[in-house]
Amino acid sequence: MIDFTLTSEQKDIRNMSKDFAEENLAPGVIKRDEGSIFPKKEIKMMADLGFMGMMIPEKWGGSGLDTISYVVALEEIANIELATSTIMSVNNSLVCQVLLDWGTEEQKINFLRPIAKGQKLGSYSLSEPQSGSDASNMRTFAEKNGSDYIINGTKNWVTSGHNSDFVIFFCLTEKGKGSKGITAFIIDKKTPGLHIGKKEDKLGIRASDTCELYFENCRLSEKNRIGKEGQGFLIAMNALGGGRIGIASQSIGLAQSALDKAIKYSKERKQFGNQIGSFGVIQNKLADIATNIHAGRLMVWNAAFLKDRGKNYTKESSMAKLFASTTATKAASECVQIHGGYGYMQEYGIERLMRDAKITEIYEGTSEIQKLVIARALLD
C-alpha cells in the first residue's frame, strides 16, 4: 500500500520551494512574461539551493533526493511561474537523467557534474521541423568520419536553447532503419558548425526561451556520443517517461495557482449584494477544479513512487500528464471566467495562466500521444 504522507524532509523541501518562489519569482513574473525575459538570476539562485540537479547523486554534484521530493518542489515553482519550472524540469528530468543513466564516466565529469550543480545549464533536443508527434521521423544526420561525426540538419523546439551551455540531441547515424538508426549526442554550444536560431515568440511560458539549432558540417568526437549507435530513440523515450512526471507536476502547480486565485476572488467580489462564492455556479466550478487537482496530484505521486522503486511507470506517467495537463487548462480557463473582465486583463496575471497552461497538453508528447502510450500499455 502506498503511503501518500510526505516525510519531514519532503515537507521541508516543499516549504523551501514555496518560500523561494513567492519571494523571488512572484515579484517579476508579469514583467518577464511581457518581455520574454529569461530568469537568469533566479535560475542561479535555484541552482545554489540544489534545485537544478535534485535527483542526481551527490557524487555527481546533485542533491541526491527522490522523485517525490523533486515533484513537490517543481509544483511550487510552477505555482508561481510555469516558464521557470519548465527550465528546471528540462534540466532535471531530461538532461541530468540521461547523463546519469547513459553517460560515460568522462561525460559525467565533464557535463553532468557542472549541470547538476547549476554551474552550467542543459537543453534537450529531440524534435525536428517535419517530425511533429512522430519523433523518429528525423533528417538530421551524423556521418562517421574516422573517430568523429560530421553533423548536418535542423532541430527545433529547443527549451533554453539561447541560454544553455550544452545540448543533448538526437539524430540519425544510419539511414533507412527508422528509430533504430537514431543516436544520442551531447554538444557544447560553442562548437564550430552549430548555429543558434532566433528565439521563438510563443503564446505562453514566454520567459523560457525556445529556438532552433542548425548543424552545418559540425564535427563532433565520438566521445560526445551517449550510449551506442542506434540506442538514441530508446534513450529519448526513457527520458520522456520521467519528463512527463515533471510536466504533470508543473500542471498541478499551475492548476493550484488558478484555484487559489479563484477562491480568493470569490470571497472578495460581490454581485447582487452577495459574495460570488455564495453562488452555486461558482461553488460547482471550485469543487470540480479542487477535486481534479487532488486526483492529479495523487497520480503524479504514484508515478514518482513507482520510478523511485525501479518499477515500470510508463503508463502511469502518461496518465498523470494527460490528466494533470487537462486539469491545468480547465482550471486556468475557469479562473479567468470567475474573474470575468478582470481575468482577461494582463495586469492581473490571470490570463497568463491560461496562455501558459496550453503548453502542458503539447510538449513532451501531446495529449493524443499520451492516450496512445496508455492504450498500448493496456493492450500489450
Q: What's the CATH superfamily of 233-379? A: Butyryl-CoA Dehydrogenase, subunit A, domain 3 (1.20.140.10)
Say if CB 336 and CB 344 are below 8 A apart: yes
The DSSP bridge pattern shows strands 166-172 and 122-125 to be: parallel
pLDDT of residue 2: 66
- For residue 3, pLDDT over 80 is answered with no
> Which string of b and e fits 135-162 if b means at least 16 CB within 10 Å?
bbebebbbeeeeeebbbbbbbbbbbbbb
Mind listing the pLDDT tens digit for each residue in 219-254? 999 999 999 999 999 999 999 999 999 999 999 999
- For residue 320, pLDDT over 60 is answered with yes
Enter the DSSP assignment of 214. Answer: E
Say if CB 54 and CB 70 are below 8 A apart: yes
pLDDT of residue 135: 86
Higher pLDDT, 380 or 76: 76
Active site residue: 42, 334, 351, 364, which one? Answer: 364
| Full-model pTM | 0.96
pLDDT band at 199 (very low <50, low <70, confident <90, very high): very high
364 catalytic? Reply is yes
Closest CA to 298 of 128, 91, 68, 107: 68
Classify domain 8-121 at the CATH topology level: Butyryl-Coa Dehydrogenase, subunit A; domain 1 (1.10.540)
Which CATH architecture describes the domain 123-230?
A: Beta Barrel (2.40)
Spatial distance between the Cα atoms of 225 and 168, rounded to a whole number of angstroms: 10
Domain edges within the chain: 8-121, 123-230, 233-379
Radius of gyration of the chain measured on its C-alpha atoms: 21
370 grid coordinates: 499520451
pLDDT of residue 20: 98
Mind listing the pLDDT tens digit for each residue in 24-77? 999 999 999 999 999 999 999 999 999 999 999 999 999 999 999 999 999 999
Spatial distance between the Cα atoms of 255 and 285, rounded to a whole number of angstroms: 13
22 grid coordinates: 513567492
Mind listing the pLDDT tens digit for each residue in 264-291? 999 999 999 999 999 999 999 999 999 9
Instruction: Tell me the mean pLDDT in the region 360-376.
Output: 96
Say what percent of the chain tops pLDDT 90.
95
Closest CA to 13 of 86, 65, 81, 85: 65
pLDDT of residue 133: 85
Question: Same CATH topology for 8-121 and 123-230?
Answer: no
Spatial distance between the Cα atoms of 61 and 115, rounded to a whole number of angstroms: 8
pLDDT band at 347 (very low <50, low <70, confident <90, very high): confident
Mind listing the pLDDT tens digit for each residue in 83-137? 999 999 999 999 999 999 999 999 999 999 999 998 999 999 999 999 988 888 9
The DSSP bridge pattern shows strands 210-221 and 166-172 to be: unpaired
What is the secondary structure of 72-102 as a DSSP string? HHHHHHHHH-HHHHHHHHIIIIIIIHHHHHH
Q: What is the mean pLDDT of the chain?
A: 96
- For residue 1, pLDDT over 60 is answered with no
- For residue 165, pLDDT over 60 is answered with yes
pLDDT band at 379 (very low <50, low <70, confident <90, very high): very high
As beta bridge partners, residue 250 has none
Mind listing the pLDDT tens digit for each residue in 170-197? 999 999 999 999 999 999 999 999 999 9
pLDDT of residue 62: 94
Q: Given the C-alpha cell 525501479, which residue does it identify?
A: 310
Centroid of chain to Cα 240: 10
